[in-house]
Amino acid sequence: MIAETAGALLGAAGVLAWGARGRSAQLFCPSVWRGPKTPRALALTFDDGPSESTLDLLSLLHTYGVRATFFQLGHHARRLPRTVRRCVEEGHELGNHSDRHHGLWLRSPQFIRDEIERAQESIARLSGAAPRWFRAPYGVRWFGLRPVLRQLGLTHAAWSVLARDYALDAAGIVNHVGPRVRAGAILCFHDGRGMRHSPDISATLGALETLLPRWLDEGYEFLTLSELMQTGGEAAQ
């Protein structure tokens, strides 16, 4: 009996962990993690901004004519409203990444609601358009998330490939991301580092200086997340 109980608890813990972090999990809310395999397109996404380094990234994207989706923190959006507006002016899409990048696990439904609603209000006010997409900090979903997203008209977006650009140097990012990219992939990079001000994202920029021309030469088109998913990506409603 004890062994059976322990096994059941371990099984339940495994399901909970997968539901919270699994990229294709739908346990706590509808979530997308990739788009269709045709056309030959990618969605480039960036988390944790805007930051003082986002302007360098925007210049790089402009050089290659690439549009992306920026999952922004409400706190940083309020700090850097001009950068928020420049993202929109240059054709990029904005998503909600919570207000202050607190992990949502083991938090109350009210805490989760406050984090998402405050960021949604700030980004919508500064950009002129309410985000359609939410990405949980660290990608971890939790109880209480589903009704908040439904009320705000948000859908959770995970990723196909996590660049790990917060931990690797430029060469390491290229070697990690390059072999994993397929048509329809949602790629998760970072233009910020959590709540840090003036972060060093030189590794991210260096990697993209190699990867962007390579992907363009391979015939990939870069779409915003909304554009990619409009063609019928994998999502549970």
pLDDT per position as a tens digit, 192-229: 999 999 999 999 999 999 999 999 999 999 999 999 99
Single out the catalytic residue among 76, 92, 190, 191.
190
Rounded to the nearest 5 percent, the helix, strand and coil shares of the chain are: 45, 15, 40
Q: What is the pLDDT of residue 135?
A: 98
Catalytic option among 47, 99, 165, 191: 47
Q: Is-catalytic flag, 99?
A: no
Contact 1, 138 (CB under 8 A): no
Q: What is the pLDDT of residue 235?
A: 42
CA-CA distance, 76 to 97, in Å (whole number)? Answer: 11
pLDDT at 14: 85
The pLDDT value recorded for residue 234 is 47
Q: Which two tokens stand for residue 168?
A: 């690797």
Domains assigned to the chain: 23-235 (3.20.20.370)
pLDDT digits (tens, 9 = 90+) for 183-197: 999 999 999 999 999
Can you give the pLDDT at residue 3?
A: 57
The answer to whether 76 is a known catalytic residue is: no
Q: Which pLDDT band, with edges at 50, 70 and 90, does 232 fall under?
A: low
- pLDDT, greater one: 97 or 4: 97
Whose tokens are 């990219």? That residue is 181
Q: What separation in angstroms does the CA of 101 have from each of 48, 127, 148, 175, 194?
A: 8, 20, 17, 28, 6
pTM of the model: 0.93
pLDDT given for residue 231 in this prediction? 78
Which backbone phi and psi does 6 adopt, to 5 degrees? -65, -40
pLDDT (tens digit per residue) in 166-175 = 999 999 999 9
Q: Provide the pLDDT confidence category of residue 13 given band limits of 50, 70 and 90.
A: confident
* Mean pLDDT of the region 113-136: 98
Helix then strand count (H, E) for the chain reads 9, 10
